[in-house]
Every structure is written in C-alpha cells, then in structure tokens.
C-alpha cells in the first residue's frame, strides 16, 4: 500500500534524498534500471510523484526505449501526469549535476527499508481497526496479521540479491576461507557418521523434512540428534512437540541416553546401575542448552516469536518440529493441502531468516503399506502436499523392514535412513541400528571411528 504525501508529512518513515538519488541515477545511466527494478516497485516510493515517475520509467524500459529527461517527460505528458509531478523542471532537478553513483545499492536498500516500515505501520493500523470494530473473531484477526507478516518476510527474502563481491565479502573469513574447503563452515553434526559424511551435517538456513509411517521412529531419531547436539556439542536446541508432553520427551531422552528400557523405567523395576545411569544422564540434560515446548495449537508465528527470543538470549543451533501435520494455521485455507503448503513454506522462510537448520517431522501416506513387496517410502508418499518436497533442502525417510516382516530375526534392529532428496549433495541410504527398548538409533559398528559416538 502506498503512502500519501499528507501521511508522509505527518512523519511516516521515508528518505526523500535516497528516492531522488535512485531516480536520478536511472536518468544518468538507464542501464542501471534493471538492477533497481529488481529490488524496488513503484509503491516503494513515499511520494506520489516519485511513484509515477518510476512507473513511467518501467513503461519505457518494457518498450525497449531509452530512459532520459526528454523521453520520461514525454511519457508522463502522454499519461497526463507531468503537471502532477511538478513539471519538466522537477524531472531536470533529479539528475542535474549528479555524477554516476557508486553506492546506488545502498540508496536502493534505504528506500526499500523505509517502504517496509510503512507497510508494517499500515498493516498494524488495519489490525487495530479490525480489533476496535469487533466485527471479526480474534482468531480471524490474528490469521490476517500472520499472513501479512509472512508475505512481507517472503517478499523481503526474494529481493535479497547479491553479486559475487558481496557474497564473498559477507562470507566468514573472506575470499581465502571461501576457496579453502577445509576452512569452510560445516553444518551441525548429527552424531551419525555416514549421514554427516553424505550431507556435511545440518547446515544453517536449511529445512530437513524427516518423514515416516507411524511407529517407524521418526520422533526417536529427531530426539537422538537433538540430544547429541545439546549434550555433546553444547549447541542450543529448541524442540516443539505437538504430539507428546515435555515430560514424555524428557523421559525418552533420559532413557535413550542412559540406555535404560523405558518399560522398566515406567514400571519402576530398575536396578542400582540403571538408576545411576539415569541420574547421570539427567544431570547432563539439566546442564544442556535444550529447550522443549509442548504448547498445543502452536502456529508459525508462535514458533517465530519464541525462537527469536531464544536466539537473542542463548543462541540457536538446531530446531526440531514434531510434527508438521499437527501444526495449526489461523487462516482459512481452501483445503488441507493448501494449509500444509503454507506451513512448510513458512518453516523454510523461518530457517532461512534465523540461519538455523530445521528438522521438521512429517507423516507419510498409506501408500508404502499398500505397495506389494516393496514398502520403502518414496517422495510421492509425502502426505497432503507436494510442496513439502519443493520447500525442503533435504528429505529423509526412516524405513525398518522388521516392521513389515516381524518373523525374520535377521532384520531385528536394522534401520535405513533413506536420503531421497538433497539439494546440495548426493542421495542414498544410511544404514543404522534401532534399539527399540531404548527408542534409540545408533551408528552401525562398522561406521564408528575413534572419535565417533558409540554410546
């Protein structure tokens, strides 16, 4: 929504000098228009005359014509807008005596930032108006605000273009680090050797969808990774559980870390050694930077607010969401597929904004069980939305053949993590061991080196 001149005079965020410099730079050298137009739209300018001038520049560019004082004035006159833009004298003033600017990107960024601030103000005013009128329910008002803010974030992310010089300049360690693989920033280790070798770990800003049929162990694997990062790497981990209580999750982690049978723990039949191991593991978890949230009906905006606060106070290394299909959306989607699409897209945007890897659990459809002979999951089995695959940087499936063939002793405890998609690396199968009584996945013995996890 564009600001009016009157609104600007009352103090809305704007920088008229930056706007004039951007428009003047195009008149000095119209070859820069394509770069400016990639970041700005006409409504990003605060003054109506600037919006009209930029709009007519776009018309000239679309027709393949030069953009200069004369052609711009002629186009404005043809549209009956020259007088409303203060005439030809104002067009001349935009580039009069102006050299070619070396910091045009900076001025474009200022104009864009001010525009976004105005949008936030207008959106906030709409929320206030709706709340004061009381014609909509609180949930409907929150849904509208949530959708607007997410769209703003998505638009801002899509405009963050950078040339090679800027990318290398912003890379930690500069050009030498960028060219030296041994010094490149690696992802967060999961503790699973073969998986880390295949992926380089869980990288900041990436969305990892971990999917499986019920009872395959997707929650167990996600918690194993979260526990490893928090206790062994001392990285801050946030776990959002929409299915289990925080007490149940903590019990699972304690028993997995201490290698104590959960059924025995719940029944209270523990020997002295098992009690000591549980006590030691509880102390490790108490000291670990691990945070669990089991609030029912959690939305993307809830997750966003909590994670921003957590990152500011403690830092953030990993986020786990268990699981996608149980997450709430305040909006009124046309169907469940559309709702899940919006949620998965929101997760990807959050991961990119916070520069933290997300492990998001997802249910699979019944298709694997209905396929005769081969029950291994495929990307097409992702439940309720094909956009989950599109948004994810990695998609992994947990498959335990023993679930389908319980009579075969040779399959007992064997598990596959099928990496079906990896945007920046190979796909394949990671062989694992699943200790059902501890709800714990481990490396196979052949994968463990001297420095690897062998708990």
Spatial distance between the Cα atoms of 251 and 92, rounded to a whole number of angstroms: 73
Please, which residues bridge with residue 395 across strands?
A: 209, 421
The set of residues, in sequence order, having a beta carbon less than 8 Å from that of 106 and lying 6+ positions away, is none
Picking from 219, 162, 157, the residue whose alpha carbon sits closest to that of residue 346 is 157
Buried/exposed 120-156: b ≥16 CB within 10 Å, e otherwise: eebbeeeeeebeeeeeeeeeebbbbbbbbbbeebbee
Written as six digits, the tokens of 445 are 């013995």
Longest alpha-carbon distance in the chain = 91
Which entry of 65, 74, 154, 243 is annotated as an active-site residue?
Answer: 243
243 in active site: yes
CB 262 within 8 A of CB 252: yes
Report the DSSP beta bridge partners of residue 440: 435
| Distance in angstroms (rounded) separating the CA atoms of residues 72 and 66 | 9
Q: Angle formed by the axes of helices 300-314 and 138-158, to 10°? A: 60
Q: Find out whether 412 and 421 touch, Cβ atoms under 8 Å.
A: no
Coil, helix or strand at residue 293 = strand
DSSP letters for 303-356: HHHHHHHHHHHH--SEEEEE-GGG---SS--SSHHHHHHHHHHHHHHHHHHHT-
Q: Which residues are known to be catalytic?
A: 243
């Amino acid at each position: 929504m564009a600001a009016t001149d009157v609104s600007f005079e009352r103090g809305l965020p704007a920088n008229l000098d930056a706007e004039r410099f951007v428009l003047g730079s195009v008149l000095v050298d119209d070859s820069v228009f394509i770069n400016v137009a990639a970041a700005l739209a006409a409504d990003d300018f605060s003054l109506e005359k600037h919006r009209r001038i930029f709009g007519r520049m776009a018309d000239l560019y679309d027709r393949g014509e030069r953009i200069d004082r004369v052609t711009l004035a002629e186009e404005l006159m043809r549209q009956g807008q020259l007088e409303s833009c203060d005439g030809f004298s104002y067009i001349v003033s935009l580039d009069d005596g102006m050299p070619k600017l070396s910091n045009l990107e900076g001025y474009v960024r200022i104009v864009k930032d001010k525009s976004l601030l105005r949008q936030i103000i207008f959106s906030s005013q709409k929320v206030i108006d709706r709340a004061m009128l009381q014609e909509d329910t609180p949930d409907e008002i929150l849904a509208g605000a949530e959708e607007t803010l997410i769209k703003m974030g998505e638009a801002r992310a899509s405009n963050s273009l950078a040339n090679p010089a800027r990318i290398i300049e912003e890379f930690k360690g500069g050009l030498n680090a960028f060219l030296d693989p041994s010094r490149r920033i690696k992802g967060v280790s999961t503790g699973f050797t073969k998986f880390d070798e295949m992926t380089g770990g869980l990288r900041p800003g990436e969305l990892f969808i971990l999917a499986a049929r019920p009872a395959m162990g997707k929650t167990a694997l996600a918690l194993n990774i979260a526990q490893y990062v928090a206790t062994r790497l001392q990285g801050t981990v946030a776990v959002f559980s929409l299915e289990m209580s925080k007490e149940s999750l903590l019990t699972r982690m304690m028993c997995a870390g201490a290698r104590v049978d959960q059924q025995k723990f719940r029944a209270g039949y523990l020997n002295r050694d098992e009690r000591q191991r549980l006590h030691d593991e509880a102390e490790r978890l108490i000291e670990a930077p691990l945070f669990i949230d089991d609030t029912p009906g959690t939305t993307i905006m809830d997750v966003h607010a909590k994670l921003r606060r957590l990152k500011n106070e403690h830092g953030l290394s990993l986020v786990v969401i268990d699981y996608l299909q149980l997450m709430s959306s305040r909006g009124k989607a046309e169907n469940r597929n559309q709702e899940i699409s919006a949620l998965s897209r929101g997760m990807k945007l959050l991961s990119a904004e916070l520069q933290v890897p997300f492990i998001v659990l997802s249910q699979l459809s019944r298709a694997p069980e209905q396929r005769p002979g081969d029950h291994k999951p495929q990307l097409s089995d992702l439940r309720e939305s094909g956009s989950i695959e599109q948004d994810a940087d990695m998609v992994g499936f947990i498959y335990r053949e023993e679930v389908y063939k319980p009579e075969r002793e040779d399959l007992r405890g064997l598990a596959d993590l099928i990496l079906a998609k990896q945007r920046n690396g190979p796909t394949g199968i990671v062989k694992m061991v699943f200790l059902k009584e501890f709800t714990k996945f481990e490396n196979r013995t052949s994968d463990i080196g001297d420095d690897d996890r062998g708990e």
